[in-house]
Structure 1
Amino acid sequence: MRKPFITMADVAKKSGFSINTVSRALNNKPDIREETKARILQIAQEIGFVKNRSASLLRSVETRIIGVIMADSSNPFYSEVLKGIEWASRKFDYQIILVNTERATKNEIRAVSLLMERRVDGLLIGPVQESRKHIEDLIHRNYPTVIVGRHFDQMEIDEIYSDEINGGKLATQHLIDQGCRKILLLNGYSYKSPSHMRQEGYRQALEAAGIPYDPSYVHISDILPEDGYRAILHTVCKGMPVDGIFCYNDIVAFGAMQALKDNHYRIPEDIAIVGYDDIQYSGWVYPPLTTVSIQKHRMGFEAFRMLLNRLQGKRKKTQRKILPVELIVRKSSLHLQKEGQRV
């Protein structure tokens, strides 16, 4: 059976000070002598006292807890964003409650309700984007919320995301510069804002180079390695002429690369390939993957700071922050440029 928690009364009894004095010391109040405070804190630590934050919250309007809702925390992209959020929460003395929705809208809606019931001060949401009604409800409630890594058209809500159109341009232009003319886009579902923005960048780069945009060269699927693998079987392996591939993310690219190897295509000699996100494994696959790098850790940190500024009343207008991206050139697409070059 679990031992009962050490209480403030236990600290008072052990130290010989009143409960009121112990309370002032443990709550870092100014009207107490430093040596008294130090003695009480030492005894509290020695006997294993842990502050009852729930009791404190009952006396406070704020909880100093932020709810974090992410579509897939196992995805290396989200794990890096979460590191930024956690770093900021420690820096600003907040706690977070994380809910992983497993890319299911029903789980996301339930998570929003659950975290509001827990009276979190605000929400950071990396949404699935299949539905927007529950996000609109948060706006109507004026509930402090920041959308992370996604963009909602015609919605007045704080957002932070990457310059996805430019990312799509950079990836496609790089393949064009390598001599590619039949460029296949392995894209995610169109309800995701990065999907349609990256596709727009892809289209703009093709048209700027005088290459007609062909919708049949846009393959839509989910965004896991097996989806990248199957996409190659359904396109390249069925005779579609392809000399370059731009993938929605690095994970899709990993699957696509394996399918190409299994079917005796050389990378990049036969088909050059570019990913997106620059996750930590991208430089370790063979050949090392050219990819669009986004500022994942910064995105998480800045999202938290945007929410904090809203909570502290430092900002009332809706803010949209777009982070720059860059192309990291590695051997998977390398014909003319040097590996490791940043564009």
Structure 2
Amino acid sequence: MPITIADVAARAGVSKTTVSRVLNGRGELDAATEARVRRVIDELGYVPSARAVSLARGRTGVIGMLVPSLTWPWTGQVLQGAVDTVESGKYGLMLFTCNQGDGSMRQFASQVDAKAFDGLLVIEPEGTLDYITELHAAGLPVVLIDDRESRPQFPSVATTNRAGGRQAALHLLELGRRRPLVVSGTPGFGCVTERTEGFTEAFAEAGFPVPAEALLDGDFTLESGRAAVARAVAGGVEFDALFAHNDLSAAGAMQALGEAGRVVPRDVAVVGFDDVDLAALTTPPLTTVRQPLREMGVLAARMLLARLAGEPFPTEPVVIPTDFVVRGSTAPQA
């Protein structure tokens, strides 16, 4: 059986608290007692767990990260940025997903109660913002990595969804496209509202308001993009451009356009959002609004590590602007 701190305490004739103080250099101890405890540790070959030592020091050396699912196309880029930064700061990362719904959240809550990590990074699983806000209010340092325009009551790193939608619209207008179709993301998400408003406002300002029948609900999936375009074509909606709220639904839209005999970009210019790896691999490669995904993960992790080092959190959300990447899916109106 492994040697425990209780074995050391019994052999040295001291309490477990005394052994812990010797291991962690805490408290004033008699030199002879400390020497005796260290001698017993050497004799027994006792090796304290790193976790036990960290907890005794009031820190775990671990950052928690809560995400909805690893299947979201852009989660991996955010996660990689966060992991690289956390590990560079000599912390470990404990990852939680919500793949099992309430069961996943119960498991996460048990680790919160056990104080298994020192701070938390969050890509908000739907319906959890109030709970995360309570954790922060109770003293757990939290940073939200947000693309939904949630604007929580704790620190967050976000991007410019409205400006990104506007970038997409201005590009299409410059190409002479006047009849866009919009395939949105999941209704109710703040980023969906922001992206749609930024896009439609730019078209309206140019004198080409987007009709209601050209605004189609999606859910950020490839199939929703394909189905939305199929419905528009079957319904006789006229369009020469398409803006999808993410690259995955844009790829599905391009698939449906091909099935309908529409050539991209000759007949329909297509713009996505995110600039995940898929965007450069579609045929033709996808023009898209680049969301600074890895940078968001890096900056959020830096903010959290700085807070754990004693620095204050920023008082306002930190916003990183989007970029625009032009590829072969857009071209001037023939």
Give the TM-score category using the shorter length: 0.7 to 0.9
Corresponding residue pairs, total: 302
- Contact kept? 2:123, 2:146, Cα under 8 Å: yes
- Contact kept? 2:273, 2:289, Cα under 8 Å: yes
**Counterparts in 2 of 1:85 and 1:316: CA distance versus 1, 3 Å:** closer
Deviations 1:216-274 (A, max 9, x none): 32211211111111111111232111111101110111111111111211111111100
Amino acid corresponding to residue 110 of structure 1 in structure 2: R
- Contact kept? 2:290, 2:323, Cα under 8 Å: yes
Residue 278 (structure 1) aligned to one of 275, 278, 293: 275
Distance 2:84 2:47 in 1: 23
- Contact kept? 1:180, 1:243, Cα under 8 Å: yes
Amino acid corresponding to residue 320 of structure 2 in structure 1: L
Distance 1:299 1:136 in 2: 20
Residue 116 (structure 1) aligned to one of 92, 112, 133: 112
Aligned position for 2:241: 244
Please list every run of at least 4 consecutive aligned residues from structure 1 whose deviation after the TM superposition is greater than 6 angstroms.
4-8
Residue 172 (structure 1) aligned to one of 159, 169, 173: 169
Residue 234 (structure 1) aligned to one of 231, 234, 249: 231
Aligned position for 1:291: 288
- Contact kept? 2:213, 2:237, Cα under 8 Å: no
Identity of aligned residues (%): 29
Deviations 1:284-311 (A, max 9, x none): 2111100111221111111101112222
Deviations 1:178-235 (A, max 9, x none): 1111111111123222211111211221122111243332211211111111111111
Q: SS state of the match for residue 282, structure 1?
A: helix
- Contact kept? 2:233, 2:260, Cα under 8 Å: no
**Counterparts in 2 of 1:270 and 1:123: CA distance versus 1, 3 Å:** same
Q: SS state of the match for residue 76, structure 1?
A: coil
Aligned position for 1:188: 185
Within 5 Å, give how 1:322-341 maps onto structure 2.
322-335=319-332
- Contact kept? 1:127, 1:150, Cα under 8 Å: no
Amino acid corresponding to residue 319 of structure 1 in structure 2: E
Distance 2:77 2:313 in 1: 28
Aligned position for 1:70: 67
Q: SS state of the match for residue 216, structure 1?
A: helix
Aligned position for 2:141: 144
* TM-score of the superposed pair, with normalisation by structure 1: 0.79
Distance 1:296 1:107 in 2: 28
Alpha-carbon distance, 1:83 to partner: 0.5
- Contact kept? 1:108, 1:127, Cα under 8 Å: no
Within 5 Å, give how 1:146-165 maps onto structure 2.
146-151=143-148, 153=150, 155-165=152-162
* TM-score of the superposed pair, with normalisation by structure 2: 0.81
Amino acid corresponding to residue 247 of structure 2 in structure 1: D
Alpha-carbon distance, 1:66 to partner: 1.0
Q: SS state of the match for residue 142, structure 1?
A: coil
Q: SS state of the match for residue 160, structure 1?
A: strand
Asked if 1:96 is matched to 2:106, the reply is no
**Counterparts in 2 of 1:188 and 1:296: CA distance versus 1, 3 Å:** same
Distance 1:171 1:108 in 2: 37
